[in-house]
A and B are shown apart, each in its own frame.
Chain A
Amino acid sequence: MALLSFQNVSKTYNNVTKALQDVTFSIEEGEFVSIIGPSGAGKSTLLRCINRLVDASQGEIFFDGQNVTSSKKKELREIRTKTAMIFQHYNLVDRLSVVENVLHGRLGQKSTLNGAAGHYTEEEKQEAFRIIQEMGLEEQAYKRCDELSGGQKQRVGIARAIMQHPKLILCDEPIASLDPKSSKVIMDHLKSINQTKNITCLVNLHQVDVAMKYSERIIGVTAGKIVYDGPTSGLTKEIIHEIYQSSDHDLIMDVQG
């Protein structure tokens, strides 16, 4: 059985804007899948339907054998602990330390009181430090997050995600606010998490070339509909133009050849 499956999912905002229309696909455990498409195509909505930061209007989503769309509070919390998320704007609590932000990954599994008071076990703290080291941030561990650079912040975001022990990591434009060098670092980290820890990754990307370089499978979304779903090798120029609804020479990659 697939780890994640969308069955005819649609999302309409305010009964007018159609963000997703009849989306159906499934993802197997261990895959690294990129979702590409123009801005406003519904990529973010698609990702947020999986952990119910956005509620789908129609259709059903199954994750790890559980029905996401019909899940109640407690079940939803469990699903959210199994799906971590990485954001374009990092979404860290800027005034807390790097360690504290990483430990936030445990909140879903902790009791209300311990979580609220920030009481974590020594094992959890040790693990947080190990992950911080993997991300190469050990020297920044006690710094406040507002002192970090964009690339460092996103590494904290990844560390927080790993701290959750997720089965699936959802990445919403993880490198859209970063310079090329930091982007590469972040994508390398995601790739290696996918390979060494066997965590499934679903990544929204703006850059087609990055998507083609890092993922085996690509889903192309335009105007809320899936227009391509297949291996990276099958992604031809024509399909890319269809996804971005552009003609020849409109895209930067055309110029690059």
Chain B
Amino acid sequence: MQTTMDIFKKRKLTYTLVFLAFIAIFAGASVVAEFNPVDGISSFPAAIQWIAANLIPDAGAMERFPKILSELLETALLSVAVTVVAAVLAFFFSLLGSNITKINGLLKRAVRIVAAFFRNVPDVVWAMLLMFSFGQNILTGFFALFFTTFGLLTRAFIETIDEVSSNCVEALDATGANFIQKVFQGIIPSSLPGITTWVLYMIETNIRSSTLIGILTATGIGYLFDLYYKRLDFASASLVVLSIVVLVLVIETVSNKIRKVIL
């Protein structure tokens, strides 16, 4: 009985310590970031008020709706195109970077480092860098998204392949199958659910990221939002937000349906 009491006391002590540590971290971080919690809390009702006031588009916003739709369509096409091209390349690279299909250890390392580099350089850096050479062009957004997507998918595919296909590749090895045969008959079928899930997820993510890059490079749907926002045409700006939300939700729903059938 004594020992159980000790355990409870100990647990209580741990909880208290963790709680205090969180408070301390919160306070420290607030000071450094110059974040005022009271302002933070009071900004919530204000934001909700803003949303409520501008949720229903006015006549002016509706006039801009066709323009918004066409930019939205372009954003959707861009996200799919970026993800598909990056996925195809990432798949080849992940074969070189996987423990199961690697050609040699050195190449495997190199692939993993390259993927980590592309994954971790922020997409805003790519966007600004490409702005200098491509200007306000759709290709700026394309390549900025492409580099990060490629890095992310390469790592994701490597993990998927390593996790899923070691057993069946061993068996195919034993039958005398060669590299290409192992890839098509073993690795692709067994890692397909993982790969599809990642590709669909990246399409969705890229729609959100392309908004950010659009603001920075003055292209696409992000630019449109920024334009209306700075003109204080909040009704149109909120229509842009609304249309992005609808697009993302539609893609999410379709993805979930597809995933259910494929798994």
Contact = CB atoms under 8 A, between A and B. Distances in A.
**Are A and B close enough to touch in the complex, i.e. CB under 8 Å?**
yes
Interface of A: 51, 53, 76-81, 83-85, 87, 89-96, 100, 104-110, 112-113, 115-118, 157, 160, 164, 170
9 contacts: A53-B173, A80-B175, A80-B176, A94-B190, A95-B192, A100-B185, A104-B185, A116-B185, A157-B171
A87 B167 contact: yes
Interface string B163-189: 000011011111111101101111001
A105 B190 CA distance: 17
Contact of B176 (A81, A94, A96, A118): A81
A108 B175 CA distance: 6
B168 to A, nearest CB: 5
**Chain B binding surface SS class:** helix
Interface residues of B, number: 21
B189 A116 contact: no
B184 A93 contact: no
Contacts of B193: 95
Contacts of A96: 185, 189
B80 to A, nearest CB: 25
Contacts of A77: 176, 178
A165 B170 CA distance: 19
Contacts of A81: 175-176
Contacts of B175: 80-81, 84-85, 104-108, 160, 164
A84 B174 CA distance: 7
B259 to A, nearest CB: 14
Given A93-B190, A94-B190, A112-B180, A107 B174 contact: no
B185 A115 contact: yes
A160 B173 CA distance: 13
Nearest to B179: A112
